[in-house]
Each structure stands twice: as structure tokens, then as C-alpha cells.
A and B are shown apart, each in its own frame.
Chain A
């Protein structure tokens, strides 16, 4: 069974700062998910990645399969980026669709 650790748990930044959120897991996987949960509770899938790096606007996600580690970066952060960011991996490794989630990183970006 996979275990997921995220850090930091809480993060406060000033507008414009570069943000990094980290995720480590214990069992080899085929893909890792980064999710965003808005203050209203809605969840949006940001990335699913299995190797290397993906970029979408100001968001960048990287993964190192050998080290079982992924990072989510936000460049030029903005108050609208304030949300909880959650990392998720297949519970039993491999490609099993059932996900297990990190506890989330609560990001607050101040103007």
C-alpha cells in the first residue's frame, strides 16, 4: 500500500513569489496526480504525470520516478492561486486507479 507525504502543510507567500510544494511516495507508480481544491471545495485536476516535467501556464510539475518524488511549482504567484494543493498516487502502485491522497498543502498568497 502506498504512502504519500506532502510538504509543507501550510505555506504563506507574497504575490509574485516562486512557490514549491513537495510530494514523496513509497511504492513505485506509473503516474502521479496533482489536484487543486478551491476554498469552496471543488477539486480540479492540474496534472497527471509519469515522467519528466509538465507545464501549464504558471504551473510546473516535475517527477523523479527513481527517487519517488514530485514537485509542484508556481511561478509569479497570485492571490487567486490560494487553494489547497493535493498530491495523489495509485494506492497499490502500478496503474491501479484507486488513488491515495496526501494531506494537502494549504497555500495562501497575500497581495
Chain B
């Protein structure tokens, strides 16, 4: 079956512009996670959704970052007024429900802010 998909796969944007990243989880998965991997760094948690609500937004680095999920499916991560330090690979993962279940990762979106 289809895995987690993300779009775009690559995004180059100018500093100060807004960007939207999209994640389409595996059908039936109620939990969705956003992670970020900066160059040479490990993975860091940003936010997760259980259904349409976000119980944990503690990883969002600033108020320029926001995310939403509608219909318990697709999620968008929005970065406003992008900065060069936002350059990273943004990864999305989904699982049946929040908790200790195997997470299935999407291919990521490589964001470059020039």
C-alpha cells in the first residue's frame, strides 16, 4: 500500500518568504509527527497530532512555525518569514495512534533558505 508522502521534495526559498510543507500519512493512521534534521545534526521533534489536535507542540522552534491537520489526514507545516537557520530536511511520520507503535517515515522535504 501507499506509504507516507511529502511534498514538495525540495524547496528553495528566499529569506523572508513563507513556505508550506505537506504530509500525507498512511491511510488509517491517526497519529502524525513532524521532525526536522538540520545539516549535520540529529533528528529533532517539532509537533505531533492525534487526530486533528496537537497535544504536544513543544518542539516548534519559534512562533514563525505552525502546523495544522484537517480531516484527520493531511497535515501542513507552515514557516513564516523564513530564515537561513530554517534550512533543513523536514520529515513527517505516521502511526496507528500515539504511543509505542512503529512510526513510518516519509521521504522528507529538503528546505533551503537563501
Interface of B is mostly: strand
Cβ of B52: which chain A residues have Cβ within 8 Å of it?
none
Cβ of B95: which chain A residues have Cβ within 8 Å of it?
97
How many B residues, CB 8 Å from partner? 26
How near does chain A come to B47, taking the closest CB pair, in angstroms? Answer: 9
Task: Select which of B45, B56, B108 is within 8 A of A41 by beta carbon.
Answer: B108
B interface residue numbers (CB < 8 A to A): 31, 33, 35, 42-45, 48, 50, 56, 59, 89, 91, 95, 97-105, 107-108, 110
Cβ of A45: which chain B residues have Cβ within 8 Å of it?
102-105
26 A/B residue pairs, CB under 8 Å, sorted by A: A29-B100, A30-B100, A31-B100, A33-B102, A33-B103, A41-B89, A41-B107, A41-B108, A42-B107, A45-B102, A48-B100, A48-B101, A86-B43, A91-B45, A96-B98, A97-B50, A97-B97, A97-B99, A97-B100, A98-B33, A98-B45, A98-B59, A98-B98, A100-B45, A101-B42, A104-B42
